[in-house]
Homo-oligomer: A and B are copies of this chain.
Amino acid sequence: MKLLPVTCALAALSFGSHAYAWDFVLLDSDKPASNLRITSEQLGLKVDKPFSVSMRTLHGGRQEGVSLIDIDNGTMKLTVVPTRGMNVLSAQVGSVRMGWDSPVKEVVNPAFIELNGRGGLGWLEGFNELVTRCGYEWVGHPGMDNGELLTLHGRAANIPASRVTVHIDETPPYAIHVRGELKEQAFKKVDFSVQTELVTEPGAAHFVLNDTLTNNGDYPKEYQALYHSNFSTPFLEEGARFAAPVKQVSPFNDKARADLGDWQTYRAPTPDYDETVYNVVPYGDAKGNTLTVLHNKAASLGVAVGFNVQQLPVFSLWKNTDTRGQGYVTGLEPGTSFSYNRRYQRPLNLVPTIGPKQQRQFRISYTLLTDEPAVSKALQQVKSIQDGRATEVRQTPLVDLSKE
């Protein structure tokens, strides 16, 4: 990768209301993606953990022309994919990687994917991220709804971002904000835009997604959102556990029903396991905030995914403990909805509506739990949010898929 010199990077600097406003445009209608690099040193910032944000472009195969943004906050290295819905490809602290190994090795340019292919499963040809945005017109399994084939998990992950910027706060801790806009527009059908934001702080083993969905249309419109957050080793292993403040849990289908008793623990990579999915209704605290935790068997390493149940009231736990080669991965998926086709979720009241010009905020935090005390503290938080409230373990799926 050839990097543009500092002067080029700074040429992208636009002056705001302050003497030094650190706003950089990485991509815009009149600005192609380039091999830009922004560093704390260039900005004259003396921070304990020097940071950098850089951009590069992939070539060859189905990843031709895909832009990547690499953020190194001094502790955590994150890669964001503007060409794929500002998805987070991976996050790494030292040798610990949040993310997974999909059979899909390329970061696939949506230009080469037919979402309508494979009976609506074309999305699977690009699925390999740590966080894959699902929505916002719909999420869930492919199938007909209102006479139209809804493709798996909607379009968001395959919408290239329109205007991508980096903002560095001018005051400590100098938080780094990477923003990109997704336009989900079709005449007479939908007029959504999603202002995505990833925020991380220099030195933190932590990042936040902070998205704003706007219905620019003049009519109320159904929407759905789901943040497909995917983890593998070293968190996922035999005996790894999932914890959350749970109001209700139910199996997604009959297969999951058979394993319901073990829904919170994980298997080793298991040939022919395929997947089981559990539908969770989490409890939140007084403000609606909740926390879900995945940790290894020894409870010495984990991740915490936090969100607000007023924004994202339900949660899918996707246990894809198949072989490593097929994808040994679990998905922690806060959403407005489960992963059923949209037509099944209306009766469950899981297809919300957004009014004209209204906005919806989705804030999800991702924290690496680097040691036993960190895991323990997070589990305490889960317990504290549960606060002794009952958990309903529902034996039967919410949707009877046998009638399909």
A240 to B121, CA, bound (A): 46
Tell whether, in the assembled complex, residue A187 and residue B104 are in contact, meaning their CB atoms are under 8 Å apart: yes
**Within the complex, what minimum Cβ distance (angstroms) separates A217 from chain B?**
6
Tell whether, in the assembled complex, residue B161 and residue A61 are in contact, meaning their CB atoms are under 8 Å apart: yes
A160 to B62, CA, bound (A): 6
Chain A residues 9 to 28 lying within 8 A of chain B, measured CB to CB, are 27-28
Tell whether, in the assembled complex, residue B217 and residue A326 are in contact, meaning their CB atoms are under 8 Å apart: yes
**Within the complex, what minimum Cβ distance (angstroms) separates A48 from chain B?**
31
User: A110 contacts the other chain (Cβ, under 8 Å)?
Assistant: yes
User: A347 contacts the other chain (Cβ, under 8 Å)?
Assistant: no
User: A96 contacts the other chain (Cβ, under 8 Å)?
Assistant: no
Known: A31-B60, A104-B187. 14 other contacts (CB 8 A): A27-B59, A28-B59, A32-B57, A33-B59, A61-B159, A61-B181, A65-B65, A106-B185, A119-B149, A124-B187, A124-B189, A128-B187, A218-B271, A218-B324
Determine the chain B residues whose CB is within 8 A of the CB of A183 once the complex forms. Answer: 61-62, 105-106
Residues of chain A at interface, number, CB under 8 A: 73
User: Secondary structure at chain A's binding surface: helix, strand, loop or mixed?
Assistant: loop
| Contact A118 B186, CB 8 Å, known A103-B191, A356-B325 | yes
Tell whether, in the assembled complex, residue A124 and residue B218 are in contact, meaning their CB atoms are under 8 Å apart: no
User: A115 contacts the other chain (Cβ, under 8 Å)?
Assistant: yes
Chain A residues 164 to 189 lying within 8 A of chain B, measured CB to CB, are 164, 181, 183, 185-189
A358 to B109, CA, bound (A): 28
Determine the chain B residues whose CB is within 8 A of the CB of A325 once the complex forms. Answer: 191, 216-218, 356
**Within the complex, what minimum Cβ distance (angstroms) separates A213 from chain B?**
15
A272 to B28, CA, bound (A): 34
Determine the chain B residues whose CB is within 8 A of the CB of A147 once the complex forms. Answer: 119
Chain A residues 64 to 121 lying within 8 A of chain B, measured CB to CB, are 64-65, 82-83, 102-106, 109-112, 114-119, 121
| Contact A64 B63, CB 8 Å, known A105-B185, A112-B111, A189-B124 | no
Which residue of the partner chain B has the closest CB to A181?
B61
Tell whether, in the assembled complex, residue A111 and residue B114 are in contact, meaning their CB atoms are under 8 Å apart: no
- Bitwise, A108-141 to B at CB < 8 A (1) or not (0) is 0111101111110100110110000000000000
Tell whether, in the assembled complex, residue A65 and residue B62 are in contact, meaning their CB atoms are under 8 Å apart: no
User: A349 contacts the other chain (Cβ, under 8 Å)?
Assistant: no
A317 to B128, CA, bound (A): 41
User: A204 contacts the other chain (Cβ, under 8 Å)?
Assistant: no
Partner of A60, one of B29, B118, B326, B356: B29
User: A262 contacts the other chain (Cβ, under 8 Å)?
Assistant: no
Partner of A112, one of B127, B160, B356: B160
25 A-B residue pairs with CB within 8 Å: A27-B59, A32-B57, A32-B59, A61-B159, A61-B163, A62-B160, A63-B162, A103-B191, A104-B187, A105-B185, A109-B111, A110-B112, A111-B111, A114-B115, A114-B116, A118-B148, A119-B147, A119-B148, A121-B189, A124-B187, A125-B186, A188-B274, A218-B271, A218-B324, A218-B325
Determine the chain B residues whose CB is within 8 A of the CB of A185 once the complex forms. Answer: 103-106, 125
Determine the chain B residues whose CB is within 8 A of the CB of A234 once the complex forms. Answer: none
User: A1 contacts the other chain (Cβ, under 8 Å)?
Assistant: yes
